[in-house]
Amino acid sequence: MLQISCPWCGTRPEGEFICLGEAVPPRPDPAALSEAEWAAALANRANIRGLHAERWWHVRSCGRILTIWRDTVSHAIVPPPDGTAALEVKP
């Protein structure tokens, strides 16, 4: 059971959150992509074994969606290596 730091609420147990999976980039404009690129953006995932960014919805508290960096092997949560804040969405 993970402990997740919410920038609004502090460190909270995993049960307050819902995991929304890998932090995929914001939805691209479909008109700007080829069909193959669009299909790949929809379905493909990096599915990284190791450190990756993922989104959690703090549904049973503040309601915000945060991005955290978690190692998918050890489950350790670390500060964002790229320095982004948890509530920022990186394009």
Partner 1 sequence: MQRFSFLSLARNALSHHEGWRRAWRSPPLREAYDVVIVGAGGHGLSTAYHLAKEHGISNVAVIEKGWLGGGNTARNTHTIRANFLRDVSIRFHDVSVKLYEQLSRELNYNILFSQRSMIDLIQSWGKLRDLRRRSLAMALHGPAYDLISVDELRRRIPAMGDLSGVRLPPLAGMAHPQAAMARHDAVAWSYARAADARGVEIHQHTEVTGFLRDARGRITGVETSRGTVRAGQVALATAGNTSHVAAKAGLSLPLVTRNLQAFVSEPVKPIIDVIVNCPDVGLYVMQSDKGELVIGGGTDPIPSYRQGCHVATFEDVVASLVELFPRFKALRMMRQWGGAIEFAYDASPIISKTGVEGLLVSTGWYGGFKSIPVGGLTYAHLIATGTPHPLAEAFGLDRFTGLRFLLEAGTVAQR
Partner 2 sequence: MTARRLARGGLVDRSVPLAFRFDGMDLSGFAGDTVASALMANNVALVGRSFKLHRPRGFFGAGHEDGIMVSRLAPRPATNQLATVTPLEADASYVSVSTWPDARRDVGAVAQWFSRLLPAGFYYKTFMAPNWHLFEPFIRGAAGLGRVPDPAWQPVSESRYGDCDVLVVGAGPAGLGAALTAARSGASVMLVDDGEGPGGRLVSDGIDDGGWASRTFAELHTMASVRLLCRATVWGYHEHNLLTVIERRPADAPDLDLRNWKIRAGQVVIAAGAHERPIPFADGDRPGIMLASAARSFLHRHGVLAGERAVVFANNDSARGAALDLAAAGAAVTLVDIRPDPGGTQAAMLAGRGVTLVAGGCVLRAIGRKRVEAVQLRQADGRLSTFPCDLVAVSGGWNPAFHLASQTREARSVWHDDLATFVASHGEGRFRLAGAARGIFEAGACIRDGVEAGQAAVRTLGRTGPAIEAPDLDDPFVARSVAPLWFVPPRRPGEKVFVDLSGDVTTADLGLALREGYDSIELVKRYTTAGMGVDQGKSGNVNVIGIVGALTGQATDLVGTTTFRPPFVPVEFGAIAGARQQARLYPWRHTPLADWHLARGAVMYEAGLRWQRPGYYPLPGEDGKAAASREARAVRNGVGVYDGTPLGKFQIKGPDAGRLLDLVYISDFGKVAVGRGKYGVMMSDDGLIMDDGVAFRLAENRWLLHSSTGAADKVHAHLEQIMQVHRPDWQVSILPVTTQWANATLCGPRARDLLAALKPDFDISRAALPFMGMAEGHLGTIPVRVFRVSWTGEMSFELNTPARHATALWEMVMAAGAPFAITPVGSEANHILRVEAGYISTGHEVDGTADPYDLGLGALVSATKPDFLGKHAMMMRRALDPERCELVGLLPGDPERSVPEGAPLTPGGDKVGQEGFVSACVRSVALDRVIALGLLRRGRSRMGEIVHARVRNEIVPLRVVAPVFHDADRARVRS
Site residues (vs partner 2, CB under 8 A):
1-3, 18, 20, 26-27, 29-31, 35, 38-39, 42-43, 55, 57, 59, 63-65, 74-77, 89
**Residue 85 interface partner, choices partner 2, partner 1, none, CB cut-off 5-8 Å depending on type:** none
Q: How far apart, in whole angstroms, are the C-alpha atoms of residue 17 and residue 12?
A: 9
Does 45 sit near partner 1 (CB under 8 A)? yes
Residue placing its CB nearer to partner 1 in the complex, 26 or 50: 50
As measured in angstroms, the least distance from the Cβ of 31 to partner 2 is 7
b/e sequence 4-42, b meaning 16+ C-beta within 10 Å: bebeeeeebeeebbeeeeebbeeeeeeeeeeeeeeeeee
Choices 13-21, 24-32, 58-66, 82-90; region in contact with partner 1 by CB under 8 A: 13-21
**Least distance in angstroms from the C-beta of 67 to partner 1:** 14
- Alpha carbon distance, N-terminus to C-terminus of the chain: 30
Cβ pair 82, 47 in contact under 8 A: no
